[in-house]
Amino acid sequence: MWIAATLIAAMAQTMRNAAQADLTSRIGTMGATGVRFLFGLPFALLFLGVLAMTGPVPRPGGTAVGYAAVGAVAQIAATALMLAAMRRRGFAVATALIKTEPVTLAIMAAVLLGEALTPARLAAIVVATIGVLVMSGVAWRRAGAAPILIAVLAGALFGVSAIGFRGAVLALGHGSPVVRATTILVLSLAMQTAMVGAWLGLRDRAALRGMAGAWRQSLGAGFLGALASQFWFMAFALAPAANVRTLALVEVAFAAAVSRRRAEALGPRQFAGMALIVAGVGWLLWTAR
């Protein structure tokens, strides 16, 4: 189940990233960042409302709220940095650099959540991550230090957010993985909507007007964001965060397909990198049996 949830989440996230990248040029980085939260919360509430009709919804305690807050803040910062990296470099290159996340995530999860990190599991994660770097190829070395650091920092912050969200889901005392995942999704999106909405209201009202003007595209990005997060959180409820995020490296292949549609050229190095990613992910799934 966690494999299916991760693949669905990765595909929805790739589509959302593409929608947000298009919005960045129209309403700015913070405006495009806010879309996934402000327009995603209504869909998350709808998901939870449907589940509430089938059974009780758990009430988050202090530990769950604390973990969710860490994940929420880290994800906002990571999303803003991701969009900035995409604006500086191509869609696939930026996505690949951000996906250096799993190695640091595996180490953080071992320290903070006590998730076992065997040599075989770490090696599989490293192989997949090397594939990401190979796929990035010459393009990122020519980009200069700033875009590289932005993308890698975004990846590290996405790792912190994964730790926070998995910790929050695990902290809920009862309920199915779907109910617990949706409860934390609504909680985190509510926090993020309040923070981003306040920031935009005080510092960037033009972005709010831009979001309203592009409401159709914003609504689509918000739905895709809520859908992706729903399945990410379900996967976090079922498997270690590092396993989920390593399997999620298949998103790089999805991003490559998007880039080809955007006329961003892919060469032998990118395909070799994707082969390493597939090998690393396959190894990880074999060790996780």
Q: Are 195 and 79 in contact (CB under 8 A)?
A: no
User: Residue 234: which pLDDT band, with cuts at 50, 70 and 90?
Assistant: very high
pLDDT tops 90 at residue 189: yes
State how far the alpha carbon of 80 is from the alpha carbons of 17, 46, 83, 84, 149, in Å: 11, 26, 5, 6, 14
User: Residue 88: which pLDDT band, with cuts at 50, 70 and 90?
Assistant: low
User: Residue 254: which pLDDT band, with cuts at 50, 70 and 90?
Assistant: low
Domains of the chain: total = 1
Tokens 């994940």 — which residue? 71
pLDDT tops 70 at residue 110: yes
pTM over 0.85: no
Q: If DSSP codes are grouped into helix, strand and coil, which group holds residue 2?
A: helix
Residues 6+ apart with CB under 8 A from 163: 67, 70, 71, 105, 108, 109, 112, 113, 241
**∠ CA 47-52-56 to the nearest 5 degrees?**
135
Least confident span in 213-217, 220-224, 241-245, 264-268 = 264-268
pLDDT tops 90 at residue 48: yes
User: Residue 263: which pLDDT band, with cuts at 50, 70 and 90?
Assistant: very low
Q: H helices then E strands: how many in the chain?
A: 13, 0
Q: Are 45 and 186 in contact (CB under 8 A)?
A: yes
Q: How many CB atoms lie within 10 A of CB 61?
A: 11
User: Residue 253: which pLDDT band, with cuts at 50, 70 and 90?
Assistant: low
Tokens 């730790």 — which residue? 163
Give the dihedral of Cα atoms 151, 154, 155, 156; nearest 10 deg. 130
Give the residue numbers spanning the domain of 42.
2-287
pLDDT tops 90 at residue 191: yes
User: Residue 257: which pLDDT band, with cuts at 50, 70 and 90?
Assistant: low
pLDDT digits (tens, 9 = 90+) for 152-179: 788 888 888 988 999 999 999 788 889 9
How does DSSP assign 207-250, residue by residue? HHHHHHHTHHHHHHHHHHHHHHHHHHHHHHHHS-HHHHHHHTTH
C-alpha–C-alpha distance, residues 151 and 256, integer Å: 17
**∠ CA 75-78-84 to the nearest 5 degrees?**
140
Q: What is the pLDDT of residue 256?
A: 65
Q: What is the pLDDT of residue 101?
A: 73
Least confident span in 36-40, 91-95, 139-143, 217-221 = 139-143
Query: Greater confidence, 158 or 187?
Result: 187
Query: Greater confidence, 63 or 252?
Result: 63
The residue type at 171 = A
Least confident span in 17-26, 149-158, 194-203 = 17-26
Q: What is the pLDDT of residue 50?
A: 94
C-alpha–C-alpha distance, residues 266 and 263, integer Å: 9
